[in-house]
């Protein structure tokens, strides 16, 4: 018999490594970091997720900026172990068999957190049922319901089949997992009050379209008797909202930053929504050079990442600069290999990498090309600014693909004044190189739209200084230490998107021209390295170890 669990963490995606394409973006990366920190802290936790057969698609950029996407095939046997257990869930009103794979996460002290990957690709299932776990976010609404039934109901049944009888909290990482409540209802005589104490929920996006809402006729057709008779009182009158379902049957709900918590409370009036600000796993995202430096200067940081908070006092200037310089050279070599562009490691390098979606405003830097040229103006022969972009667009999103194409064309047009490269196939390995090798991390979301953002935390951990609008985690990071990076634009809410864009763009140019570039080019590096240390110190707070301790205290019952 497995021991009682403090938490079973349900998540539609998990980003443990680049070669396992079972994730799409930040949500999956966060799930992986949180479970790794559970392992480090010795939390009795398991992860429950899905073994996506095709995972996400791999992006390839052509020289004109147009993109091709190809399926990444991967062999789960390289990373996972198949277990003998299977369970059955009624989907489309017939039984579908679900199998399971295991991966074990080992923590700093040796404690193991098992992660289970559900899989309908079994020979006894009909071809259309085998495809339920084929593609993450890859189908229509009916497919999404099937996938969520497999994760939620299949996941609870699988835990039982694996012998987990006693589970303190079923954690829903995003509304995708909310059907788990239906299985608990069934187990507990359809008494809401018997389910509520066992469930907690994290909502991840302030974008309405990011919340799953299904028409009831479709939900009944696909989910059938899995839905209890009183589903409308739980999930909404007009349509089945997974977010409402999760909140109705959870005792605790949180957003992923303070601002996001407040925005979520406004989106769902009358709800109690707290906030636990995201973090990153401090060992996973530190470059090898930084790990070595922290080992030497902040001993104990691996098990107590709060020690990073003492970076300003304890990190020596020269070794810090050297560690950063090595990571930067590694990144420059990668860019040479993959894009054929020679970067100069002694010239300012700005990186801006993320999923390409409109609210992140990837083109803000190119709003006013006259101003851009003005900022980049240099006296010598070689440019004084180098910029790296990366990020995938959804293959069914021609609008975002067009954005990438325009950015690639900009990089050609502007080559007389700045070296600009768009790198393809953004994934955790590339993220790792970028966050550690750049000097400045640029992030330009529209205020209130970025729930948290974690790439900026990864950068900060490596002494790469953030320059960002005050949204998500950076509003908190900047409030903690305004010398740890730069802000773009004011804190206040704005009038309209066009005015905001103009104001933010102008402020970005001003920051670069009068603060960032001159400070970087100052031969006396003291001020810059101090900023780097302050950036690192922020991650004494913005790490998943602190995040998990907050979850333990507030969401998982101590
Ligand atoms: C960290 C990470 C993300 C999330 O970063 P954001 O700040 O939310 O853009 C997305 N994709 C990859 C590959 C990452 O490593």
Structural domains in the chain plus CATH codes: 5-278+546-554 (3.40.50.2000), 282-536 (3.40.50.2000)
Distance in angstroms (rounded) separating the CA atoms of residues 192 and 197: 9
Nearest CA to ligand 1 atom 5: 455
What is the residue-averaged pLDDT of the chain? 95
Burial class (CB in 10 A: 0-12, 13-18, 19+), 380: exposed
Q: Please tell me the least confidently modeled range out of 389-393, 499-503, 520-524.
A: 499-503
Q: pLDDT per residue over 403-426, tens digit each?
A: 999 999 999 999 999 999 999 999
Q: What radius of gyration, in Å, describes the C-alpha atoms of the chain? A: 24
Q: Check if 390 has its Cβ closer than 6 Å to any atom of ligand 1.
A: no
CA of 353 to the centre of ligand 1 (A): 8
Res 243: pLDDT: 98
pTM of the predicted protein model: 0.97
Nearest CA to ligand 1 atom 4: 26
Token pair of 343 as six digits: 């970067």
Q: Check if 155 has its Cβ closer than 6 Å to any atom of ligand 1.
A: no
Q: 3-state class of 86 per DSSP?
A: strand
Q: pLDDT per residue over 510-558, tens digit each?
A: 999 999 999 999 999 999 999 999 999 999 999 999 999 999 999 998 6
Residue 347 DSSP label: S
Confidence of residue 255 (pLDDT cuts 50, 70, 90): very high
Nearest CA to ligand 1 atom 15: 428
CA of 23 to the centre of ligand 1 (A): 11
Statement: residue 72 has pLDDT above 80 = no
Residue to mutate, 15, 31, 286, 442, ligand 1, most ligand atoms under 8 Å from C-beta: 15
CA of 342 to the centre of ligand 1 (A): 25
Distance in angstroms (rounded) separating the CA atoms of residues 404 and 67: 8
CA of 456 to the centre of ligand 1 (A): 9
Which numbered atom of ligand 1 lies nearest the CA of 391?
11
CA of 36 to the centre of ligand 1 (A): 17
Q: Check if 445 has its Cβ closer than 6 Å to any atom of ligand 1.
A: no
Q: Check if 454 has its Cβ closer than 6 Å to any atom of ligand 1.
A: yes
Q: Please tell me the least confidently modeled range out of 12-16, 203-207, 395-399, 456-460.
A: 395-399
CA of 431 to the centre of ligand 1 (A): 7
CA of 432 to the centre of ligand 1 (A): 10
CA of 453 to the centre of ligand 1 (A): 7
Q: Give yes or no for a contact between 278 and 257, defined as CB atoms under 8 angstroms apart.
A: yes
Q: Check if 426 has its Cβ closer than 6 Å to any atom of ligand 1.
A: yes
**DSSP secondary structure, 18-37, as one string:** TTS----SHHHHHHHHHHHH
- DSSP count for the chain of H helices, then E strands: 22, 19
Residue to mutate, 256, 353, 355, 442, ligand 1, most ligand atoms under 8 Å from C-beta: 355
Nearest CA to ligand 1 atom 8: 453
Q: How many CA atoms lie within 13 A of 109 on its CB side?
A: 11
Q: Please tell me the least confidently modeled range out of 65-74, 271-280, 285-294.
A: 65-74
Q: Give yes or no for a contact between 442 and 417, defined as CB atoms under 8 angstroms apart.
A: no
Q: Check if 354 has its Cβ closer than 6 Å to any atom of ligand 1.
A: yes
Res 495: pLDDT: 62
CA of 285 to the centre of ligand 1 (A): 11
Confidence of residue 357 (pLDDT cuts 50, 70, 90): confident
CA of 455 to the centre of ligand 1 (A): 5
Which numbered atom of ligand 1 lies nearest the CA of 353?
9
CA of 95 to the centre of ligand 1 (A): 37
Q: Which residues pair with 214 in a beta bridge?
A: 240
With CA atoms as reference, report the closest residue to 30 among 552, 554, 543.
Answer: 543
Q: Check if 452 has its Cβ closer than 6 Å to any atom of ligand 1.
A: no
Q: Check if 455 has its Cβ closer than 6 Å to any atom of ligand 1.
A: yes
Res 394: pLDDT: 83
CA of 445 to the centre of ligand 1 (A): 13
CA 344 to chain centre: 30
37-59: average pLDDT? 93
Which numbered atom of ligand 1 lies nearest the CA of 454?
7
Token pair of 203 as six digits: 């909502």
Burial 519-553 (b: 16+ CB within 10 A, else e): ebeeeeeeebbebbbbbbbbbbbbbbbbbbebbbe
Extended strands (E) in 425-475: 440-443, 465-469
Confidence of residue 134 (pLDDT cuts 50, 70, 90): very high
CA of 204 to the centre of ligand 1 (A): 13
CA of 444 to the centre of ligand 1 (A): 14
Distance in angstroms (rounded) separating the CA atoms of residues 547 and 175: 19
Res 494: pLDDT: 62
Confidence of residue 1 (pLDDT cuts 50, 70, 90): confident
Res 106: pLDDT: 98
Nearest CA to ligand 1 atom 9: 354
Q: Check if 427 has its Cβ closer than 6 Å to any atom of ligand 1.
A: yes
């Amino acid at each position: 018999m497995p021991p009682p669990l403090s938490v079973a963490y349900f998540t539609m995606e998990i980003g443990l490594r680049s070669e396992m394409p079972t994730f799409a973006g930040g949500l999956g990366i966060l799930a992986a970091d949180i479970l790794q920190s559970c392992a480090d802290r010795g939390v009795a936790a398991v992860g429950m997720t899905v073994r996506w057969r095709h995972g996400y698609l791999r992006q390839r950029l052509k020289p004109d900026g147009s993109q091709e996407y190809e399926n990444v095939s991967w062999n789960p046997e390289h990373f996972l172990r198949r277990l003998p257990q299977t369970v059955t869930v009624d989907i489309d009103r017939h039984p579908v068999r679900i199998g399971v794979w295991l991966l074990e996460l080992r923590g700093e002290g040796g404690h193991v957190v098992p992660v289970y990957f559900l899989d309908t690709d079994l020979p006894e299932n009909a071809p259309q049922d085998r495809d339920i776990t084929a593609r993450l976010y890859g189908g229509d609404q009916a497919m999404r319901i099937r996938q969520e039934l497999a994760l939620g109901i299949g996941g609870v049944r699988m835990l039982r089949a694996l012998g987990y009888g006693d589970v303190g909290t079923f954690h829903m990482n995003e509304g995708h997992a909310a059907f788990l409540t239906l299985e608990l209802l069934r187990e507990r005589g359809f008494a809401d009050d018997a389910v509520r104490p066992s469930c907690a929920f994290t909502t991840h996006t302030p974008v309405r379209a990011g919340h799953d809402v299904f028409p009831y006729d479709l939900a009944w057709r696909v989910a059938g008797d899995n839905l209890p008779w009183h589903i409308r009182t739980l999930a909404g009158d007009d349509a089945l909202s997974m977010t409402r379902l999760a909140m109705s049957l959870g005792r605790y709900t949180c957003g992923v930053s303070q601002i996001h918590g407040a925005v979520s409370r406004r989106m769902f009036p009358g709800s109690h929504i707290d906030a636990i600000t995201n973090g990153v796993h401090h060992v996973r995202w530190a470059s090898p050079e930084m790990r070595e430096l922290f080992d030497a200067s902040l001993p104990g940081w691996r098990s107590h990442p709060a020690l990073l908070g003492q970076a300003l006092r304890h990190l020596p200037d020269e070794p810090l600069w050297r560690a950063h310089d090595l990571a930067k050279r590694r990144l420059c070599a990668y860019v040479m290999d993959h894009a054929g562009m020679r970067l100069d490691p002694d010239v300012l390098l700005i990186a801006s990498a993320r999923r390409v979606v409109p609210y992140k405003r990837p083109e803000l830097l190119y709003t006013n090309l006259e101003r851009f040229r003005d900022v980049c103006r240099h006296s010598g022969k070689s440019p004084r600014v180098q910029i790296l972009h990366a990020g995938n667009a959804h293959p069914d999103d021609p609008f975002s693909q067009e954005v990438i194409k325009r950015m690639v064309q900009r990089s050609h047009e502007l080559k007389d004044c700045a070296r600009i490269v768009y790198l393809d196939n953004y994934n955790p390995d590339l993220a790792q190189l970028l966050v550690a090798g750049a000097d400045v991390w640029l992030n330009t979301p529209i205020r209130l739209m970025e729930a948290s953002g974690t790439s900026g935390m990864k950068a900060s951990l490596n002494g790469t200084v953030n320059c960002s609008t005050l949204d998500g985690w950076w509003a908190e990071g900047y409030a903690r230490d305004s010398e740890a990076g730069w802000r773009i634009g004011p804190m206040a809410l704005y009038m309209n998107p066009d005015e905001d864009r103009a104001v933010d763009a102008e402020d970005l140019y001003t920051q670069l021209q009068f603060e960032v570039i001159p400070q970087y080019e100052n031969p006396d590096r003291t001020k810059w390295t101090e900023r780097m240390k302050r950036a690192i110190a922020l991650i004494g707070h913005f790490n998943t170890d602190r995040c998990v301790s907050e979850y333990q205290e507030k969401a998982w019952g101590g």
